[in-house]
Amino acid sequence: MVCSRFTLSKQIEIRSEEFPVFAKGTSVHGAKPFTVNESVGQPITLSNNVQCKEGDVVVADINGVVIVPKEHAERVLNKTKELSKMDENCMEELKKGTSFEEANKKHRTK
């Protein structure tokens, strides 16, 4: 994870390769003369005092970023699988014509 800015042209170039890039912002300056490696493997404090530490799981897309602390990763993964299965079951019910309320009542009772 890099806590920095990218030039807009670099973001476009990297994203065109379907490699997701998320940065604090954009800059008209290129990175080379201004970027200095401050540390490797050290925690990064993001906005709202959220910390990301080495080994944490980071999931990001255009809508946002989720940081799961390493010590919670397995529990979060298991819960995510459970919730995804509930979503699949609800979708199957909706395809059969079941109302949203009934599908949720049937598959999201936990």
Hey, how many other C-beta atoms are within 10 angstroms of the C-beta on 6? 20
Domain ranges of the chain: 5-68, 73-107
Whether 61 contacts 40, CB under 8 Å: no
State which amino acid sits at residue 30. G
- At 5 the pLDDT is 47
- At 77 the pLDDT is 94
- At 18 the pLDDT is 64
How far, in Å, CA of 95 to CA of 75, rounded? 30
Cα–Cα distances in Å, from 106 out to 35, 94, 110?
54, 11, 10
State which amino acid sits at residue 51. Q
Q: What is the 3-state secondary structure (H, E, C) of 16-84?
A: HCCCCCCCCEEECCCCCCCCCCCCCCCCEECHHHCEECCCCEEEEECCEEEEECHHHHHHHHHHHHHHH
pTM for this entry = 0.60
How high is the mean pLDDT in each 10-residue block of the chain (110 residues)? 50 59 63 70 84 89 85 95 94 95 85
- At 13 the pLDDT is 55
Which residues, including other chains, have CB under 8 Å from residue 22's CB and lie 6 or more apart? 60, 65
